[in-house]
Amino acid sequence: MGSGPKLGLIAGNGSFPFLVLNAARAQGFDVVVAAIKEEAFPEIESKGAASVHWLSLGELSKLIDTFKAEGVTRAVMAGQVKHKTSALARYAQYRLVAGRSGESSR
């Protein structure tokens, strides 16, 4: 690990985060997991992620800071999460993209 592009994975519950993690690794990504404490399964830690960070639903700023510190510029949310967090992915994407304002559009 450590040589591929980095992808952030915001992991909720269920098997879908594991499927995304495996597929991303198969495509050469180093996956940085932000596991939602109240939702994600603990087994996510033993599935080959570059790193796993456990965050609560209210720690959106910490999520963004963690991804930035890890060099993540793109993230995906996978798995079921309580309805009140539906804006989480949109806000995280906005913050990550806003931090790249000096880059040209692709």
Average confidence score pLDDT of the chain: 84
Quick one: CA dihedral 89, 40, 11, 15, positive or negative?
Answer: negative
- Within a 13 Å sphere around the CA of 98, how many CA atoms are in the beta-carbon half? 7
pLDDT digits (tens, 9 = 90+) for 65-100: 999 999 998 999 999 987 554 566 666 666 666 665
- Please give the pLDDT value at position 61: 86
Whole-structure pTM value: 0.75
Alpha-carbon distance of 24 to 18, in angstroms, equals 10
As to burial, measured by CB atoms within 10 angstroms (0-12 exposed, 13-18 middle, 19+ buried), residue 59 is: middle
Q: How confident is the model at residue 57 (pLDDT cuts 50, 70, 90)?
A: confident
Q: Which domains does the chain have, with CATH numbers?
A: 6-98 (3.40.50.20)
